[in-house]
Amino acid sequence: METLTIQPSLGSSHFDEFFRENKEKSDKLMNYFLAIFFVSGLLLAPFYDTWLVAIGIGGMSLLAYYSAKLVLPKSNLYQYILSAALGIFMAQYIYQMHGLFEMHFIAFIASAILITYQNWKLQIPLTLVVVAHHATFAYLQYAGYDKVYFTQLDYMSLQTFIIHVILAAMIFVICGLWAYQIKKANERQIDLGLEVGKLEEDKMQKEMLKKLNETLELRVQERTVELETVNKELEGFNYSVAHDLRAPLRVIQGYGKMIMKTAVSKLDENEMEGVKDMVSNAKHMGKLVDDLLDFSRMGRTQLAKTNVSMDEVVNDVVKELKAAEPNSPAEIKISDLDKVTCDPVLIKQVWINLISNAVKYSRKKEKPVIEIGSTGVNGNQMFFIKDNGAGFDMQYADKLFGVFQRLHKVTEYEGTGVGLALVHRIVTKHGGKIWAEAKTNEGATFYFTLS
């Protein structure tokens, strides 16, 4: 049987474009993480008067990273410098807190952060910095040098040190493996997309019609098996990643709650707020993992369309939201909604996200009002939901449905930045469109149509 092949230049250009966009998004994400790391050093400085270390070491780490990025914009060298800088931040925090053991976990956080670049080699500089720091400072402290502050333990045996290093290295290897597997999964998806595109082009050519008809059934069977295999691999990988991410998050939340219960008398107000923030952020990250998995699964979900009463769906959603927030002052007005052919489960998720957002962004109003209705446009039903809440500036409307794109600060309105992206994917999967109109502090109206 003749096998269709893909030109290397075509696949390479798509790979380059995908990973270029991923690098740009990752770079933007790193700006936030580096700011958090630097500010964290400043927050730790008052404990042992380590302002010079926080500003000097933290500042030099930032300077090294941004200098390399500015001088060599087309090189990936700055990413390796970033990896080393994150390890230096760990060493800085350990020193600032006079060897507090928990500061060693900063290296594991840094290792997880680097996964976003999908380059396992970025784990190497971080590993080298951690090993060099632990070996050097452990030796200096136990050799009798003063003010090294590697650990608060009176003594650490060589066996304990080796086990410590091996466990840390295993985490770095696992994170490197995640980065490698994610990259390979993305490459497989791009390859599959290119091959499907090539098949569609070949179907348009008369010379290929006869060959395609002769082998169509066999090709479909082969592609179906391949797709099922890839989907199972992706589902298994997503589950594994989610499980492995949730486990440390549950540990963080558990320890945080335990500290709040058992050490309340030993912590001052600022320390207690810090612990609460830690628990809250761990919970937020867990929700983010769940939302990202939902978003990922949506691309592979097959539609199960049926005749659906939008009235029933919307009323069920409103009833559930009121049960979850019985004290919400929002007045929700629902006009008659027509029946449509769609996937009832996915469309319910659309309404859950849109109504929840409307309630959330209008809750600061004295009398929040939400209107839900539909109207006919060019022979199609157009549904809308309108609120009188915070609204937004229309110049940023193109960012509204992107993953992690938020038009309001998370301190003002909670959320993960995935909800509207999920809504957009569901609507477009139905062959419809979604858009919004708004004015700052005057509310927003979301419209969507289905095929």
Decide if 292 is inside a domain. Answer: yes
Instruction: Report phi then psi at 330, rounded to 5.
Output: -65, 135
| Same domain, residue pair 202 and 322 | no
Decide if 26 is inside a domain. Answer: yes
Domain boundary among 282, 298, 314: 298
Once rounded to an integer, what is the mean pLDDT over residues 247-265? 70
Domain boundary among 273, 298, 323: 298
| Same domain, residue pair 25 and 88 | yes
- The closest of 395, 388, 361 to 442, measured between CA atoms, is 388
Once rounded to an integer, what is the mean pLDDT over residues 356-379? 85
| % the chain with pLDDT above 90 | 17
pLDDT at 7: 42
| Same domain, residue pair 130 and 98 | yes
| Same domain, residue pair 387 and 430 | yes
Q: Tokens for 394?
A: 């229309």
- 78 band by pLDDT with thresholds 50, 70 and 90: very high
Whether the predicted pLDDT of 386 surpasses 90: yes
- 39 band by pLDDT with thresholds 50, 70 and 90: very high
Decide if 2 is inside a domain. Answer: no
- 1 band by pLDDT with thresholds 50, 70 and 90: very low
pLDDT at 408: 58
State the total domains in the chain: 2
pTM for the whole structure: 0.41
Domain boundary among 281, 298, 315: 298
* pLDDT tens string 146-157: 777 766 666 667
The CA distance from 47 to 98, in Å, is 9
Decide if 425 is inside a domain. Answer: yes
pLDDT at 264: 66
Once rounded to an integer, what is the mean pLDDT over residues 319-345? 87
Q: What burial class does residue 101 get, using C-beta atoms within 10 Å of its C-beta: 0-12 exposed, 13-18 middle, 19+ buried?
A: exposed
Once rounded to an integer, what is the mean pLDDT over residues 28-37? 92
| Same domain, residue pair 216 and 318 | no
* pLDDT tens string 261-285: 777 667 777 777 777 767 666 665 6
| Same domain, residue pair 271 and 322 | no
| Same domain, residue pair 164 and 223 | yes
Q: Which comes out higher in pLDDT, residue 108 or 135?
A: 108
Decide if 237 is inside a domain. Answer: yes
CATH number, domain containing residue 311: 3.30.565.10
Averaged confidence pLDDT in the chain: 79
- 373 band by pLDDT with thresholds 50, 70 and 90: very high
Decide if 1 is inside a domain. Answer: no
Q: How far apart are the first and last CA of the chain?
A: 38
> What does the angle CA 80 – CA 84 – CA 90 come to, to the nearest 5 degrees?
150
Lowest pLDDT segment from 142-151, 252-261, 289-298, 434-443? 289-298
| Same domain, residue pair 290 and 310 | no
Once rounded to an integer, what is the mean pLDDT over residues 240-257? 63
Decide if 3 is inside a domain. Answer: no
Q: Which comes out higher in pLDDT, residue 412 or 369?
A: 369
| Same domain, residue pair 324 and 275 | no
Whether the predicted pLDDT of 9 surpasses 50: no
Whether the predicted pLDDT of 73 surpasses 70: yes
Whether the predicted pLDDT of 8 surpasses 60: no
Decide if 47 is inside a domain. Answer: yes
Once rounded to an integer, what is the mean pLDDT over residues 225-239? 61
- 287 band by pLDDT with thresholds 50, 70 and 90: low
Query: Which segments of 49-157 does DSSP mark as H helices, in order?
Result: 51-71, 77-96, 106-113, 123-142
Q: State CA 122 to chain mean position distance.
A: 19
Q: Tokens for 246?
A: 């949730």
pLDDT at 370: 92
Once rounded to an integer, what is the mean pLDDT over residues 3-29? 69
- 418 band by pLDDT with thresholds 50, 70 and 90: confident
Lowest pLDDT segment from 113-122, 195-204, 411-420? 411-420
pLDDT at 240: 54
pLDDT at 94: 84
| Same domain, residue pair 199 and 65 | yes
| Same domain, residue pair 283 and 340 | no
pLDDT at 96: 83
| Same domain, residue pair 237 and 96 | yes
Q: Which comes out higher in pLDDT, residue 361 or 2?
A: 361
Q: List the domain range (segments joined by +) for residue 151.
A: 8-298
The CA distance from 131 to 166, in Å, is 10
